[in-house]
Amino acid sequence: MAETVPLPVPSARALLKERDYLFFWVSRWTGGFAAQIQSVAMGWQMYALARLTHTVKESSFLVGMIGLAAFIPVFLLTLPAGEIADRHDRKKVLLVCYAGEVATVLTLAVATWRGAASVPMLLIVGFLFGAARAFFNPASTALGPMLVPRDLLPRSIAWNSLAWQTASIIGPAAGGLLVATSPAWAYFTTFALYGVAAACTLAVRKSGQPVVNPGSRWTLMKEGLAYVWNQKIVFGAISLDLFAVLLGGATALLPVFARDILHVGPQGFGLLRSGPAIGATVVALLLAANPIRKKAGVFMFAGVATFGVATCVFALSKSLALSVAALAILGGADMLSVYVRQTLVQLVTPDAMRGRVAAVSSVFIGASNELGEFESGVAARFLGPVGAALFGGVGAVIVTGSWAFLFPALRKADRLE
């Protein structure tokens, strides 16, 4: 039997010819930039307010509570959010979500400007922001593949990640500078950026309306859950993200490390927040230019293991330079594993199912990020910030080995085609 010759991978120039995708990409970048500034401002403001009346450990716990507040609506709204993304125009869903995000950040901006911001307000806004993101993530994830030919999908995923990661480099640094001036200015800047992101979404001409399968809403939601459970590559990929990053969420403690361990202030905090995105951007550029051809599963597990080791190095570091370097390696390793996971999931998922699968995936990702922040805050309450970060890094390495054993099909995944 003749050996199958893989089709050539389209160049980046082919992606640049897709007008609607370019507007989508700019929207993704601008929205990511805004979200990073908002996250930096809320974390720093929460810790600063908490330290007025609480100890370092107690304040660390309250920073983690923002993650829990944002995760709860993601968890509760996952199934209806996925069903909506598979039934309604995905562009319109995104625009409604942007409106919700604008409302939350404008509330914080005005309250901070008037000196009325408080710990309870930050937690409430975190909850409302999480509700908007619960619907945003499935719709955005499902809309992207509708804007490019299938042969451009792996490269577009790399460029989507590149948009987020480059925004994540500039966002934390800009957020640190803005917070050093005034948290209110950080929120007003975020407000303007969300407006630009919404305008770019409006500029997309292609329809965002998916082909709707017959059946009730509950039937469609059950189909999405069943598909994720039965497709072991999909289930293994998104659950790996949940448990590995859930344990390795040291970035949630960066306000604590910046202020009370490394003593580098808000400017240093912005630099620390940029560290993971710097490494992720370098890896995303490499993947965008040279997509993975073989041994995708091996690359993915190697990325998660490296993520855990780098987290441990960061936990023990007493130097700003070493901490930033460890965070950069952490971010690059995470980018590698995320790229493989997202490409595998989107390639094997039919378009009519993408919203629901993306919704389930988003709750896992939300758990690994927002709930991971809560886990780090709780661990810091009992182990201290250094012990919490070290615990998470070791846990991520253990999860890597466990998932490689439990999901052999995921470990043996070869080509991303």
Tens-digit pLDDT profile for residues 218-230: 565 566 666 666 6
Residue 5: pLDDT band (50, 70, 90) is very low
Q: Which residues touch 100 (CB under 8 Å, ≥6 apart)? A: 128, 129, 131, 132
Q: Torsion angle of alpha carbons 318, 321, 327, 328, nearest 10°? A: -160
- pLDDT recorded at residue 3: 41
pLDDT at 4: 40
C-beta atoms surrounding 114 within 10 Å: 9
**pLDDT value at residue 352:** 64
Express as a percent the part of the chain with pLDDT over 70. Answer: 77
pLDDT on residue 2: 41
Tell me how far apart the alpha carbons of residues 215 and 225 are, in angstroms, rounded to a whole number.
Answer: 15
pLDDT at residue 8 is higher than 60: no
List CB contacts of 330: < 8 A, sequence separation 6 or more. Answer: 248, 250, 275, 276, 279, 306, 307, 310, 311, 314
Assign 294 a pLDDT band (cuts: 50, 70, 90).
confident
The answer to whether residue 190 scores a pLDDT higher than 90 is: yes
pLDDT at 216 over 90: no
**CA proximity to 234, closest of 346, 144, 158, 143:** 346
Question: Between 111 and 137, whose confidence is greater?
Answer: 111
pLDDT at 151 over 80: no
Q: Name the H helices within 182-264.
A: 183-202, 217-230, 232-247, 254-256
Is 306 or 8 the better-scoring residue by pLDDT?
306
Q: Where are the alpha helices (DSSP H) in 54-202?
A: 56-85, 90-113, 119-143, 153-181, 183-202
So what's the pLDDT on residue 363? 60
DSSP notation for 279-315? HHHHHHHHHHHS---S-HHHHHHHHHHHHHHHHHHHH
Question: What does the alpha-carbon distance between residue 16 and residue 13 come to, in Å, rounded to a whole number?
Answer: 5
Whole-number pLDDT of residue 243: 73
Q: Over 80: is that where the pLDDT of 124 sits?
A: yes
Rounded to two decimals, what is the model's pTM? 0.65
Q: What is the mean pLDDT of residues 181-206?
A: 91
How far apart CA 180 and CA 162 sit, in angstroms, is 27
Q: What is the rounded distance in angstroms from the CA atom of residue 117 to the CA atom of residue 45?
A: 9
Q: φ, ψ for residue 68 (rounded to 5)?
A: -65, -40
**What per-residue confidence (pLDDT) applies to 87?**
77
Give Cα separations from 362 to 54, 70, 82, 415 (angstroms).
33, 13, 9, 24
pLDDT for 387-405, tens place per residue?
Answer: 888 888 888 888 888 888 8
Tokens representing residue 355 in the block: 């919203």
Mean pLDDT score, 20-33? 90
The predicted structure's pLDDT at residue 109: 92
Q: For residue 53, what are the contacts with CB-CB under 8 A and spacing of at least 6?
A: none
Q: Are 310 and 330 in contact (CB under 8 A)?
A: yes
Residue 160 tokens read as 């989507």
First to last CA, the chain: 21
The stretch 291-302 carries a mean pLDDT of 78
Model confidence at 6, pLDDT cuts 50, 70, 90, reads very low
pLDDT score recorded for residue 196: 94
Tell me the average pLDDT across 258-281: 81
- The radius of gyration of the chain's CA atoms, rounded to the nearest angstrom, is 20
Question: Across residues 265-290, what is the average pLDDT?
Answer: 79
